[in-house]
Amino acid sequence: MKNLFPLIAIALAMTLTSCSASKELTAEVESAKSSLKQCEDQVATLQRELTQAKNMLGGSGDELTQTQAENQSLRSEMNNLRSQLATVTKEMQASSDNYGVWFRVQIGAYEQRRIDNSLETTDQLSLETRNELQKIALGRFRVYEDAKQLQTQLQEMGLKDAWVVSYKDGVRISVEEALRN
């Protein structure tokens, strides 16, 4: 029994030590469980915030993708409209007396007798009053040689005083200057 007492004492000491270690481990486990619970709560909060952000962006990004597609479509339409505008602008400029160089054939300049201005037409008959004279011109040409050809035909018909006149951006200029442009 003498030998048994030290063995019992050692076993009792080991049991008390292991219980103490077990209490420490239990406390650590409880602390870890608490930390894990806090992490799980944070993850759940972050997932809710992520879901809210996705909803603000249109769910899973569908609205963003749709907006990008609409943006691309609008850019394409804008480029198409710019192209159409450029074409229409060129056409308007080509038919406007207020753009570029034009040639007409003047057939007279009269101080006393005048033609009613309401008879003027855009392409065929031009009536211009300048320096107390009403100037009458025919045609509207972008190419000087075409105006010169009309002048020759009118002179052959008996209008000996027909001559070519020129305009730049709606302002009368000399033929020499127009030909330089």
CATH of span 101-180: 3.30.70.1070
Pairing of strands 171-173, 133-141: unpaired
pTM over 0.75: no
With b for 16 or more beta-carbon neighbours within 10 A and e for fewer, the 38-55 pattern comes to eeeeeeeeeeeeeeeeee
Cα–Cα distance measured from residue 80 to residue 52, given in angstroms and rounded to the nearest whole number: 39
Reported as a single tens digit per residue, the pLDDT across 9-45 is: 565 555 555 555 566 666 676 777 777 788 778 878 8
| Chain position carrying tokens 């019992």 | 8
Q: List the Cα angle 109/114/115 in 5-degree steps.
A: 105
Reported as a single tens digit per residue, the pLDDT across 96-131 is: 667 889 899 989 888 877 777 776 666 677 788 878
| Cβ–Cβ under 8 Å, residues 140 and 126 | yes
**Domain locations along the chain:** 57-92, 101-180
Please compute the mean of the pLDDT values over residues 122-145 and round it to a whole number.
Answer: 84
| Chain position carrying tokens 């996705």 | 54
* Confidence at residue 126, expressed as pLDDT on a 0 to 100 scale: 78
Of residues 145 and 68, the one with the higher pLDDT is 145
Looking at this protein, which amino acid is placed at residue 171?
V
